[in-house]
Structure formats: C-alpha cells, structure tokens
Structure 1
Amino acid sequence: MQQCTEMAGMNPMEKKLAEYKCDTNEAISLKLVRFADDLEDESTTFHPEYSHQLYGDDEVAFGYKGLQIQLYYSAGNLSTLFKVKYSARVTEKFDCVEPDDVEGKIREIIPAGFSCNTDDFTSLLEKETNFKPFGTLLHTYNVHNVEEGEDFTYQIHKVDLSCPGFREYHKRLQTFLMWFIETASFIDVDDDRWDFFLVFEKYNKDGETLFATVGYMTVYNYYVYPDKTRPRVSQMLILPPFQGEGHGAQLLEAVHMFYCNLHKVQDITAEDPSENYVKLRDYVLVKLCQTLPSFSTDKLPLGFSDDMATEAREKFKINKKHARRVYEILRLRVTDMSDETKARDYRLEVKKRLFAPTKKNQREMTKMMKCLRPEELASHISQMDTALQQEELEKSYQELLAEYRRVIERLAQA
C-alpha cells in the first residue's frame, strides 16, 4: 500500500525509473553447497538479514529489473561462486541514467579466486573431500534431527592464524558477517592476540566423510595488569541453515571450558553484545554455575555472596557482574513466586541492584545542585521525579523477569 501511494505521486518518468529498484536483501541469494543438485534447489537458499553496509540504509539497488545476486559457497572450504543476473538494465532504456555498481560492492568484500561460472564451481565441489577442519579438536557433540530421524555429529576446533590455509579460508568465512551482523566489520588478522573457534558438521557423501562449516567465534585477548589476560568475544555467527539447533550454546560453552584451563585468564567478556548473545550467555553461564556448591538450592535464598563471585570466576572465568545475573536466574527458579513474602524478597533484591546506578547518579546530582542556577535546578529536579523512577524501575524489573523465565524454560527443556 505504501509503495502504491508513493507511485501515485510520481511523474511518468519517475514511475518508470522506480521499476528499476530492487530490495537487496531479497536480490542476494546465499547457499552452502554440498551436492551439485543444491545449486538448483530453492530450499537450500537463504537471504541476508542486512545489506545496508554495502547498499545503503534503504537496502535498495537502483538500475535493474529482476536483479539476482548469487553468492554460493562450497559447504566446507567455502570456495565461492559469484554471479549477477537481471532481466533489464536501466541504461538500455534511458540515456544519462547510471545503475548502481552492485557487482563492484560485492567484489569489495569477497576475496579473489572466486568462480564466475557454474561449471568451474561444480569442479571445486569435487575437491571438498580434501577439506579437513582447521586447528585442534576441542569438543564433539551430536544433535538429533527430528525430521530426518537421526543424529548428526559436530566438532568444535580452536584455530591459530599459523594454521596452513586458514587465513584464506577466514577471508571467505568473514564475508557472512556483513549479511547477518548489523554493525559488522572485518578484523585485523595480523594481530596474534586473536583466537578463532570454528564449528563443523561431519557428513557422508558417496561413502566418504566430509565436513561442512556451521559457524565460528573470534576472541581477542586483552592484557590485564600485572600478568593476566581477559578474552573478549568479538564476533559470533552460526550460519542460518544451522540456527535454532543449539550450536551457539555448544560453542560458547566450549570456549569457556577452553579458557578455564588457562591460569593466565582473568575472566571472559564480550564486546558490545547483542540481545541474542546476552540470552545465549545467560543460558550457558547458568547451565555451568548450577553445578557449583555456592549456587546450591539451600544457599540461593540467602542472597548473592562473595563465594558465588569467587567460585564462578575461578571455575568458569565468569566476572562478578555476570555471576550476579546467574544468581538471580537460579534464585528465581527455586523461588515460589506465588508466596507473597518470597516474591517480595526476590523483587526487592533485584530492584535494589537495578536502582543502584540511579541512586549513585542522584547523589552526584545533589552535589552539583549547590552550583546550579534556578532554571538548571528546576530541570534536574524534574529528572528526579520519584513516581517516574518507580514506574521505570517496575518496567525494567518485569522485562528482566521475562528474560530470566525464558532461560529457566530452556534449562528445563534441555
């Protein structure tokens, strides 16, 4: 309806030109190809969530009708097929109107060595039997596929940049970030403080064992005075065909267990974590900490303790802030919220933590008021409106409860 309204206000030439606009998220088709038949199988195609980093905030390409941007990868080594198709181009109909350089934008992010025709790409599929996962095997696990009625095997590997062939592979792998992480950027792989963790699926093809890329995580090791490091998760992506199967939780838990064995590691953090990552981290950290003595059912009602913070850090490299969140989730799980007294005790403790930053700001503001002019004082007083604060605090608390309950439900399902 909106498009029809916009078209109604255009002159004939503008209407003609509007026909040459394409949604780049729909135009770009991605595939992870295992078999030659996958090339023509629409069920194996997926599309970007984002394309604004290449095609602008409106995620629109101008100059083409029926635009198709095919970006296909072999499932394991990620050998790449790149093709651009369209039914009509604006310069064929109108003089002095230039189409967007859609092909050039893609070439800016995909490394050299890609195929431009299907036959060359198909020949590369035959070499997938030579592809083996990079690095050191950390963890193997199985996932039961209900539709297929069988278990599939997956491996998580820790990789160093010195691993032969990995740099070239990583250049191809990181191109997926542009399509599925809103503020993605490529990292400087020449910095040896990066750690890489990859997930692969084992599968059979004509009686041979092959490996498909499932996802990965990059972690940067920051220095902590005097002799520690703080690994910070930078990027994490499970490729769309594998999402919703629990691979993210397996990967994050494997990464925590890897760093747990390193004495030099202080704790593990994340760089600008997304909402989905926070949900995943909540689940994994609660799953780990529920086994610790300090988080036992009889100790949870007594409140968050130094023992909890210490044990979470020493056993699983979890910092105090995250340990406190784990405690609140586990305490909610053992609290009978239909009991008014227990529910009130829980609510007050969580709200006290939520309100702490506001209370600190109020103290600082009170000190500042002595130096303010009358109009400035009135402005600051309005910001301290108690009723509004209580309303916002209650809203934050209810949102937090909903998040915590989702984690508890997932734990129950697991």
Structure 2
Amino acid sequence: GFWKILYVFEKHSVHGNGGAGAGDGGDGAGDAKEQGTEESLFRYSLVGYFTLFHFNALFHKPEPGWILRICQALVLPPFQGQGHGKRLLQAVYNMAHQHQHHEEDDENASGAEQAKSCNQRDVPPKIIQVNVEDPAPAFIALRNYTDWKLVLGRHREWNWPQKGSVTRDDDDDDSKNNNNNNNKQ
C-alpha cells in the first residue's frame, strides 16, 4: 500500500503597512491611504489533515480492488465546527468516486488510451471501499451525516416515501395474532 495526506489551509489577509498607524505617529489616520496603495499579503494557517492509506484487497468479494482507509483525521480546535472536517471527508469521497468514473472510462477506451491514462494517475485503479480506522464518536456522526447527504444528493430519482405514508405490515400481523390469541382464551 501507500500513504497520501490531505491538508486544509485557511487564508488570512495581512496588510503590508506594518501595523496600525506605523507611518503616522500611531493614530491610524493614514491606514486607508496605505491600504489602497500597497498590495495585501496573505498567510496560511494549517486547519487540519487526513492521513489516508491505500491497500490492495485481492480477494475482496464481490470484486477485488483497492481499499482507502482514513487512518488519522484532525481539525485543530480553533477551526472546529466550521465545516472543515466535512470538506476533508467529502474530498476523500470525491477522490474515490472520481476514480470509479475513471475506471469506467478506461474500460471503454482503447489500449493506447488506457496506457496513457494509467501513467497520468497517481492513485490506484479502482477504489472499492472507504473505511475509517478506529473512529471517534464525533467522526462517526460526521461520517453518518456526510453519507446521508451523499445518498440524498446522488439518488434524487429514488421515490422516497413521504412522512406518515408508510405502514408496517408487521403491525397488522401482530394485531391479527393478538386477536386470534384473545379469541382462543
């Protein structure tokens, strides 16, 4: 197998004027003029990362392929609750799903096109599963939320039942059995 790491950075704007009022005695009156004439500088802060491990599952049923495992997931405390973990997990799913489409395109391509496309890729040919190594409860909740959004987003053509429109057949069977038992007594 091999490792891959996904990072997320946050972009901060830092003005190159040396702080508030640096050129005019500290009263801040000259800041507006300086900001308009000087270009803004940017700094980046590490927000979080995922560590991914790819390994080959030769005997996986129903078909062999590569399993993508999320080994470590970290979003630093100042940036938690802002959707960064969701975006990282979605990036992993997009990578796996995009690979599935590349594999389907390769099956329809000629031999020369397949060789060219395989040389351009740095990820395994077919990802059959994305799993998580020992997830924390908060990560389980994040994954459940992301999976649910993925199902709703990709399967809008499904006829989902409306609230209250589904009746359980088991309830009808249970009530009949209770009536039969009461009649026997």
Bucket of the pairwise TM-score, normalised by the shorter protein: 0.5 to 0.7
What corresponds to 2:52 in structure 1?
219
What corresponds to 2:135 in structure 1?
273
Q: Which runs of 5+ in 1 are unaligned?
A: 1-191, 302-333, 349-414
Aligned counterpart in structure 1 of residue 8 of structure 2, from 199, 204, 209: 199
Q: Is the 8 A contact 1:229 1:266 kept in 2?
A: yes
Aligned amino acid, residue 232 of structure 1 = R
Aligned counterpart in structure 2 of residue 335 of structure 1, from 136, 158, 163: 163
Deviation, 1:294, is 7.0
- Looking at structure 2, the residues matched to 236 and 295 of structure 1 have their Cα atoms a distance apart, in angstroms, of 33
**Structure with the bigger percentage of helix:** 1
Aligned counterpart in structure 2 of residue 255 of structure 1, from 92, 99, 105: 92
Partner SS for 1:234: strand
**1:11-410 pair list within 5 angstroms:** 193-206=2-15, 207-225=40-58, 228-262=65-99, 263=103, 264-293=126-155, 296=158, 298=159, 300-301=160-161, 334-336=162-164, 342=167, 345=168
Deviation, 1:295, is 6.6
Partner SS for 1:197: strand
- Looking at structure 2, the residues matched to 208 and 233 of structure 1 have their Cα atoms a distance apart, in angstroms, of 34
Taking a change above 3 Å as real, the CA distance of residues 230 and 209 of structure 1, as seen in their structure-2 partners, is same
- Looking at structure 1, the residues matched to 77 and 142 of structure 2 have their Cα atoms a distance apart, in angstroms, of 16
Q: Is the 8 A contact 1:289 1:295 kept in 2?
A: no
Partner SS for 1:267: strand
Partner SS for 1:257: helix
- Looking at structure 2, the residues matched to 248 and 281 of structure 1 have their Cα atoms a distance apart, in angstroms, of 10
Instruction: State TM-score, norm by structure 1.
Output: 0.26
Taking a change above 3 Å as real, the CA distance of residues 253 and 268 of structure 1, as seen in their structure-2 partners, is same
- Looking at structure 1, the residues matched to 135 and 170 of structure 2 have their Cα atoms a distance apart, in angstroms, of 26
Deviations 1:366-392 (A, max 9, x none): xxxxxxxxxxxxxxxxxxxxxxxxxxx
Question: Mean Cα displacement is larger for which, 255-264 or 286-295?
Answer: 286-295
What corresponds to 2:35 in structure 1?
none
Partner SS for 1:266: strand
Taking a change above 3 Å as real, the CA distance of residues 204 and 346 of structure 1, as seen in their structure-2 partners, is farther
- Looking at structure 2, the residues matched to 241 and 247 of structure 1 have their Cα atoms a distance apart, in angstroms, of 11
- Looking at structure 1, the residues matched to 79 and 11 of structure 2 have their Cα atoms a distance apart, in angstroms, of 13
Deviation, 1:293, is 3.4
Deviation, 1:335, is 3.0
- Looking at structure 1, the residues matched to 50 and 169 of structure 2 have their Cα atoms a distance apart, in angstroms, of 36
Of structures 1 and 2, the one scoring higher in RCO (CA 8 A, sep 6+) is 2
Aligned amino acid, residue 335 of structure 1 = K
Deviation, 1:222, is 1.9
Q: Is the 8 A contact 1:232 1:269 kept in 2?
A: yes
Identity %: 30
Partner SS for 2:127: coil
Aligned amino acid, residue 149 of structure 2 = K
What corresponds to 1:73 in structure 2?
none
Instruction: State TM-score, norm by structure 2.
Output: 0.57
- Looking at structure 1, the residues matched to 69 and 79 of structure 2 have their Cα atoms a distance apart, in angstroms, of 24
Q: Which runs of 5+ in 2 are unaligned?
A: 16-39, 104-125, 172-185
CA RMSD of aligned residues (A): 2.5
Deviation, 1:216, is 0.4
Deviations 1:272-303 (A, max 9, x none): 1111111000111111110233772x2x44xx
Taking a change above 3 Å as real, the CA distance of residues 266 and 346 of structure 1, as seen in their structure-2 partners, is farther
